[in-house]
Amino acid sequence: MYKLRTKLTDLLGIHVPIIGAPMFLVSNEDMVVEISEAGGIGTFPALNYRPIEAYKKALHQIRERTSKPIGVNIIVNKSNQRQNEDLKIGLDCGVNLFITSLGNPKHIIKEAHLNGAKVFCDVTNLEHALKVQEMGADGVIAVGSGAGGHAGPVSPIVLVPWLADQLDIPIIAAGGIAEGRGLAAMLAIGASGVSVGTRFIASRESRVSQDYKNAVIKATPEDIMMTRRLSGTPAAVIRTPYTEKMGSELPMAINILKNHPLTKKYVVPLIHYLGMKTLEGAIEKPTWRSVWSAGQSVGLIESELSCKEIVYRMIDEYKKAVEHLPTVENI
């Protein structure tokens, strides 16, 4: 096992600064256990398990297999009526890290800290990052362009140092990172670690369909498209005949209802629900309605590996990247 010390590893008590990103409908118990056992920290979205009893069971099974740090993602907007229960169960099961997204994390931060857990918040800009730092967040996950799922608009190579110049808490880079060169680059510009998602889709422990894994392996960065059709906000998916037909924007009538004060609270959850059902159908079995979430790092993925192999290979590649950097000479 390797050790690469940063603010992230010190904060969480892990060996290498790699977070297995929580991927909706993809992350599972095996992936969490294997990433954590390899020295990083495995995470998963609480809403991957429904009903809530399945979430509790999954956490117990993970804890039976590893004592290493693990993490859970909780959506903190009003549409997630489970968030308080998910937090309580996570704390009861010894979850070390909570990753919040899509809302106000103040309550999560307060309760997690009372129980000794850490909280990282997804951010895409400086304004939100400063807000969650003021709330007491332990770190931010800087989601830049190139990420899978809900990617931010700013390049990670700009977003990370931009945040690093203004924040006092660790910054975790997310977006376009699938191997050790990306890890080296992000640490060099101010990140304390990386959040890796797409690379782990094509892992042996991943239970998605083989069609999905093959699509990740075969795709190039140019095959990734952004669409609002799944959740109303831009999400990165692999271009397929179905996503081309589906288009990238919401129908005009739905968009009007989504933004209207009187209908917004009803329409937004409906868009999320229908998008979730579309993703579920594509992930669970082959279908002509292929909607596969992935980021631009698909272009760096050439084979299916185990989660441990992915972590170990990233550190090997990191070492080689650092060794081959040119040195400055006085002249």
| Segment 98-121, tens digit of pLDDT | 999 888 899 999 999 999 999 999
Nearest to 148 by CA among 259, 300, 326, 304: 300
Spatial contact of 208 and 283, defined as CB atoms under 8 Å apart? yes
Q: Is 230 helix (H, G, I), strand (E, B) or coil?
A: coil
Nearest to 129 by CA among 142, 112, 146: 142
State how far the Cα of 292 lies from the Cα of 84, in Å rounded to an integer: 29
**pTM, 2 dp:** 0.87
Give the confidence band of 72 by pLDDT, cuts at 50, 70, 90.
very high
Instruction: Please name every residue paired with 72 in a beta bridge, in sequence order, or none if there are none.
Output: 44, 98
Spatial contact of 182 and 19, defined as CB atoms under 8 Å apart? no
| Strands 235-238 and 224-227, bridge-based pairing | antiparallel
Please state at what angle helix 52-65 crosses helix 83-92, rounded to 10 degrees.
20
**Res. 248: pLDDT tops 60:** no
How far is residue 303 from each of residues 2, 144, 147, 298, 310, measured CA to CA in Å?
22, 25, 19, 11, 10
Spatial contact of 15 and 4, defined as CB atoms under 8 Å apart? yes
The confidence score (pLDDT) of residue 228 equals: 64
State how far the Cα of 285 lies from the Cα of 32, in Å rounded to an integer: 22
Question: Got the DSSP string for 47-98?
Answer: GGS-SHHHHHHHHHHHHHH--S-EEEEEE-STT-TTHHHHHHHHHHTT--EE
State how far the Cα of 104 lies from the Cα of 121, in Å rounded to an integer: 9
The beta-strand segments (E) located in 184-276 are 193-196, 224-227, 235-238
CATH topology for 7-206+300-323?
Answer: TIM Barrel (3.20.20)
The owner of tokens 């094509």 is 202
State how far the Cα of 218 lies from the Cα of 202, in Å rounded to an integer: 11
**Rg of the chain over all Cα atoms, to the nearest angstrom:** 19
The confidence score (pLDDT) of residue 225 equals: 87
Query: Structural domain boundaries of the chain?
Result: 7-206+300-323, 219-284
Name every residue whose Cβ is closer than 8 Å to that of residue 127 and which is 6 or more positions away in sequence: none
The confidence score (pLDDT) of residue 290 equals: 67
| Chain mean pLDDT for the chain | 87
**Res. 77: pLDDT tops 80:** no
